[in-house]
Amino acid sequence: MNNLIEIVSIGGAVVAVSFGAVMPAFSEGRAIAAAMEAIARQPEAAGTLSRTLFVGLAMIETMAIYCLVLALLLLYANPFTG
């Protein structure tokens, strides 16, 4: 078990990506559902709504991207494996 650090790092990367994909996907789904409902109710506000939706989705998606970058750091630039 002299490559324990690599094994744990890969496990950590998998956990980071999986949880970092589940929660943002869930919240993006909720945001899109709310925006759809609002557009259905007020189609004339679709421009403003979709612009705000895009910015909000980008904010949410940043969390997933953070997890991905962390996972890649663990895999490729791990500070403990030299």
Partner 1 sequence: MDTSPLAPDILFAIGPVPISRAVVTTWAIMAAMTAFLLAAFRLNAPGLQAGLEIVVTAIAEQLRQVVGRDPWPFVPLLGSLFLFLVCANLTAVVPGAAPPTGHIETPAALALIVFLSVHVYGVRARGAGRYLKHYLEPNPMLLPLNVLSELTRTFSLMIRLFGNMMSHEFVIAIVVLLAGLLVPIPFLLLGILIGLIQAYIFTVLATVYIVAAVGAVEA
Using the rule CB under 8 A, is 80 a contact of partner 1?
A: no
Determine the interface stretch with partner 1 among 3-11, 21-29, 33-41, 61-69 (rule: CB under 8 A). 61-69
Q: Which is nearer to partner 1, 5 or 69 (CB)?
A: 69
Distances (CA, A) of 22 to 33, 40, 63, 64, 74: 17, 27, 11, 9, 20
Q: Is 66 in the site for partner 1 (CB under 8 A)?
A: yes
Q: Which of 3, 55, 79, 80 binds partner 1 (CB under 8 A)?
A: 55
Do 56 and 50 contact (CB within 8 A), yes or no?
no
